[in-house]
A and B are shown apart, each in its own frame.
Chain A
Amino acid sequence: MSVLTAPVVPDAPVTAAPPERRPRHWGRFVLPTYSWLVIAYLVFPIAVMFVYSFNKSVGGVPQVSFSWNGFTTLWYHEWNGAPGLSASFWLSIRLALIATAISTILGTLLAMALVRYRPKQFHGKGVIEQVLFINIAAPEIVMGASLLGLFVTFNIGRGFLTLVLAHVMFCIAYVAVTVRARLAGFDRSLEEASYDLGAGPLTTFRRVTLPMIMPGVLAGALMAFALSIDDFITSNFVSGTSSPFPVLIYASTRVGIPPQVFVFGTVIFSVGIILALSSLVIGRKGT
């Protein structure tokens, strides 16, 4: 009974409630205003891109110009007018889809191996975890440069194949980390129950394990797709003659940017944001 042995101070004020907190100016006014300002700052360049996609060009040269020359929807009509732009866009989409598919499968398997096996069963587990981590943390330019070194040393011509190899390489780590987080809370007894009910390993994986980790796998795949489609630094090193979308735009900064670049940017942004918002709304309804 520690209450009894504690020294009793009879004169202590009994009503020593914590002092009144100051009015919540920060939470109510300053911080929200500030936060909206930051969001405005984040959105501002996108608005600029949107505005400039309606900018007329000077002297008939299809290039974006810094100054404002008047409103036109010409670039939306002629969205396919810039040489190579839509081809490189589809190349990026194809590349992202292939890289996502391969890296999702390999990354999921890697994550399962990392979670399931103890260090004794799985030699080099610690090393692989370190490698995964360095893969994520190292500057991208180092990876691009070292991959280029590899392809040059083994005389592999740079093109679509090298792009796929490189993209799968940097996507795997992200997929594995995402799926591993999901697997960490996985209840193994569900699988055992499945085995007890006569299911083989394949059926168990397909009907029990995979549905359970699906949200993690999907999140990993989404991340891989986003990373792959927007990748510039690594792609620039390994792309050779077949340029994905970001590489092509970057190359065009030297010779003059076709206005359709901003049209593509605006359309991709709109599609992405509509998808994200609708998933947000659906998610809220679901819960």
Chain B
Amino acid sequence: MVWLALLFIVPLAIMLSLSLKTCNPASGVCYMTWSWGELPHQVSLYHSQFITSLEYAAAATVVDLVVSFPIAYWIAFHGGRKKNFFLMMLLVPFFVSFVIRTLVWEFILSDNGFFMTFLRHAHLISSNFHILGTGYAVIAGLSYNYLPFTALPLYVALERIDRRVLEAAYDLYASRREAFQRVILPLSIPGIFAAFLLTFIPAFGDYVNQQILGGTSSTMIGTVIQNTFLVTGDYAAGSSLSVVLLVISLLGIWLYARVLGSRSIEEYL
């Protein structure tokens, strides 16, 4: 507990205090201004990157939800004895380092890579079609990297549905479609929201996909924070942006608890 306090609360507090300061990046000297002045200043400077991050993370999360709901449903309801095997297959990407996974996507999407060359020779894409360096590449990388974060909570939610409720629906003359729409879908809504948050929040703060797959036009806020800390050394600016990022994430969680009760997302981890 003390450890957590030391290494989590204290850094957060320091970050808050740093965001109250103004730093001179050249000399590295920070002095307290006791004002939130840095905060709106940074937000106005980088609001377009915040919006880009929101868009990319939301797009990737929606793609993940659409892609992984059917497979989660299938494993939960029809997986049979092979359930564990299929769940492990969902986790397969995690056996390769996150950075390497993203790098491989750079190879897949690169104009000279064999995948794009093949598509071009097959005339499926025109010769001036590029994807690497665009926002679409970033979304592709994000949705691949965070797919398990969506699929597993969905699986947990679907697995938890009492089969007897479904039987009751059929006994009450529900068709398969009605049973799905009026029983399975409503019962899986907490899981869908949990999956949304568990995918959206890390994708929102991600900068690896953007730096490797995206061009300079698609800068996400994570990249900005990383650069302010590690390149320019403007800790006050970086801290202010981190505070905003944290607040947005916590807002999502707070909303979840508010709308769907205090049943915590932890259950879906």
Contacts and interface: CB of A to CB of B under 8 A. Distances in A.
Nearest to A24: B176
Contacts of B117: 67
A166 B7 contact: yes
A166 B6 CA distance: 11
Nearest to B28: A152
A101 B185 CA distance: 42
A135 B71 contact: no
B3 A39 contact: no
A41 B68 CA distance: 12
A149 B239 contact: yes
Q: In the complex, which range does the number of interface residues on chain B fall in?
A: 35 or more
A172 B93 CA distance: 23
Given A128-B1, A140-B205, A141-B222, A230 B94 contact: yes
B56 interface: no
A271 B148 CA distance: 20
B16 to A, nearest CB: 9
B253 A38 contact: no
Interface string A221-237: 00000100010110011
B235 A152 contact: yes
21 contacts: A18-B171, A18-B173, A34-B70, A38-B70, A41-B144, A42-B89, A42-B144, A42-B147, A45-B108, A46-B104, A132-B4, A134-B253, A139-B201, A139-B205, A141-B205, A141-B206, A146-B15, A230-B94, A232-B98, A249-B97, A277-B88
Interface of A: 18-19, 21-22, 26-27, 31-32, 34-35, 38-39, 41-46, 48-49, 52, 64-68, 106, 110, 113, 128, 131-143, 145-150, 152-153, 165-166, 168-169, 172-174, 177, 226, 230, 232-233, 236-237, 245-246, 249-250, 253, 257, 261-262, 265, 268-269, 272-273, 276-277, 280, 283-284
